[in-house]
Structure 1
Amino acid sequence: MLWAVFTLIAAAAQTARNAMQRELTATLGTVGATHVRFLFGFPFALFVFLPGVMFFAGQALPNPPAIFWPWVVAGAVTQIAATATMLSVMGERSFVVAYAYIKTEPVQVALFGLVVLGDRLTLLTTAAIVIATIGVIVISLKPGAGQVSTTRSTVIGIVSGALFAISAVGYRGAILSLHLPHFVMAATFTLAVGLVMQAVMLTAYLVLREPKVLRDIAAAWKPSLFAGFMGAFASEFWFLAFAIATAANVRTLGLVEVLFALGVTRFIFRQPTTTRELAGVVLVVVGVVLLVWAY
């Protein structure tokens, strides 16, 4: 059950990072706020986490096989797109409702993982995924919202969830392709490579297309540094969980983010919580409990 501990830590850290990125969107824009998690996150992965694993675990850097690179590139590119679409939704809807759209991801992860990686699911695990996902859909319902705005947000949110699903499967595929006896090294090495790729790709894009955003990021370096650290910290524990459990199980348990997001929405952003949202939370909790029990 170590994967469950890793997932809970990752979910809490990711909620903090997303809240910070949501605030940065107002000053840096969607692309700028997206870039913060990679630009300020990769130094922690490359110069703190990876050397720490090498030192304390006595592990040398791996020599990745050729198949590692398509997996990690797929994970890195789709995660950039997923983060950008996620922040776009958060700019239009409440923090917790945006989470609800995006967290249709576990069902998509289960399908992608089954087809691409051959990750098998038991009947009870499948039921847990479905119940928890229904919970986030219930949370996302918002009677009285404008139909065009609601439909647009829903579509973008579900696309974001699909991109996160592909990213999770890609990164798990990269970790498994290393065939390392020490899962911590496999996870941390994959994280460092992925974050460096993402930082380079987005920096190059901004230099060519929106250099002002880079200057704005530099001016907002203090909150950006915190968001980058929390992003790298969260990703480290997501990757550790991916190394020892299926992506579907990890992402379903990760739905506890919705509970954390509800707390952020209520106590930080001062947005009210409806009875419908609370009912959805109950379903999410039931699904998560079933998942842990099935495992």
Structure 2
Amino acid sequence: MGLWIPFTLMAAFMQSWRNAFQNRLSKEVNTAGVTLARFLWASPLAVLYLVLLYHFKPVAMPHFDAPFVLTILAASVSQIFATALMVMLFRLRNYAIGVGLAKSEAVIAAALGAVFFSAPLTALAWAGVIIGAVAVWLMSNTGPVRELPLKTVVTGLGSGLCFALTTLWVREAALMLDLTFPHSAAWVLLWVISTQTLIMLVWLLVRDPATLRALWSRPRLVMLTSLFSFLGSVGWFTAMSLETVAMVKTLGQVEVLFTLAISARWFKERLGLRDFLGLAFIVVGAVCVIVA
């Protein structure tokens, strides 16, 4: 079994909990505040993770050139927009549907990766991606297509596109560093999280300091959001340094399984036949990419 598989499963599980905490925080704090909560305490955790890696396995320090920095900046800004759009989804439809629509990133990443990032897939891998897309559609579209609000569709696809671009640029940045596993992913993680934290902090200090006070008054929820975001990012970044984004994100759709379980138990949202059928398709899609 490829090492990218357990890291992807870990990432999906951690991200499902991070989304749950973000969803709860979105009821009390605006979109920018929830977005910052994802990164706020993750930066010191990323530093600690990198220090531990160098303690147990010392390697040479990498060289950070201009293309690397620009790639990091693009990935950071793209993920900020992706997170903000997902928080907006929480307020448009129910929790599970919002996450489901944003999971269009797997298909978008497969298409963009094949065309622009020299990451073609085998026929079986493409089958897994498409089956996963069908699964997400089944669970996110609870009624006739014409009844699905256009704003929800556009916001969901926009979030998926931004997440896809983020992951493609993250993998590209990791490949730019001449480092062994898992140090390259750890450096990219630190750069991305630190950049995002700095951007959001400056923005809120200038434009909306009241939101910073709102976050300060909810330390436990903010800490949990940052912690699970960090753990999820460790999984995603490490997996994507080992395997193509489309493969990682297709297997990562098992996150929807975790999300639905959380949605049913924590948010008391009922699951229907389409949800269970969608889960079956996700399992089939995941098997396809693992075998591929």
TM over 0.5: yes
Moved over 3 A (4+): 144-147
Match of 2:227 in 1: 229
Match of 1:136 in 2: 136
- Check the 8 A contact 2:62/2:178 in 1, yes or no: no
Could you state the TM-score of these two structures normalised by the residue count of structure 2?
0.96
Match of 2:210 in 1: 212
Match of 2:194 in 1: 196
CA distance in 2, matches of 1:186, 1:116: 22
Match of 1:176 in 2: 175
Name structure 1 gaps, 5 residues minimum: none
CA distance in 2, matches of 1:146, 1:92: 16
Match of 1:14 in 2: 15
CA distance in 2, matches of 1:85, 1:135: 21
Mean Cα deviation higher: 110-119 or 56-65: 56-65
Deviation sequence 1:156-202 (CA, Å, 0-9, x none): 0011000000000011110001122x121100011001111000000
- Check the 8 A contact 1:82/1:161 in 2, yes or no: yes
Match of 2:157 in 1: 158
Match of 1:74 in 2: 74
Shift of 1:56: 1.0
CA distance in 2, matches of 1:96, 1:114: 29
Q: How does 1:1-295 map to 2 (within 5 A)?
A: 1-46=2-47, 48-143=48-143, 147=147, 150-180=149-179, 182-294=180-292
CA distance in 2, matches of 1:286, 1:9: 19
Mean Cα deviation higher: 2-11 or 50-59: 50-59
* Counterpart residue type for residue 237 of structure 1: G
CA distance in 2, matches of 1:186, 1:112: 23
CA distance in 1, matches of 2:244, 2:23: 29
CA distance in 1, matches of 2:181, 2:19: 27
Could you state the TM-score of these two structures normalised by the residue count of structure 1?
0.95
- Check the 8 A contact 1:110/1:247 in 2, yes or no: yes
Aligned length: 291
CA distance in 1, matches of 2:235, 2:152: 29
CA distance in 1, matches of 2:23, 2:60: 38
CA distance in 1, matches of 2:265, 2:215: 27
* Counterpart residue type for residue 45 of structure 1: A
Name structure 2 gaps, 5 residues minimum: none
Q: Helix, strand or coil: the match of 1:183?
A: coil
Deviation sequence 1:229-266 (CA, Å, 0-9, x none): 11111101111001110011011110001100110111
CA distance in 1, matches of 2:146, 2:43: 40
- Check the 8 A contact 1:191/1:235 in 2, yes or no: yes
Shift of 1:65: 2.7
Deviation sequence 1:197-245 (CA, Å, 0-9, x none): 0000000100111110001111111111111111111101111001110
* Counterpart residue type for residue 149 of structure 2: T
Mean Cα deviation higher: 59-68 or 184-193: 59-68
Shift of 1:66: 2.4
- Check the 8 A contact 2:132/2:282 in 1, yes or no: yes
- Check the 8 A contact 1:34/1:80 in 2, yes or no: yes
CA distance in 1, matches of 2:165, 2:80: 11
Q: Share of identical aligned residues, percent? A: 32
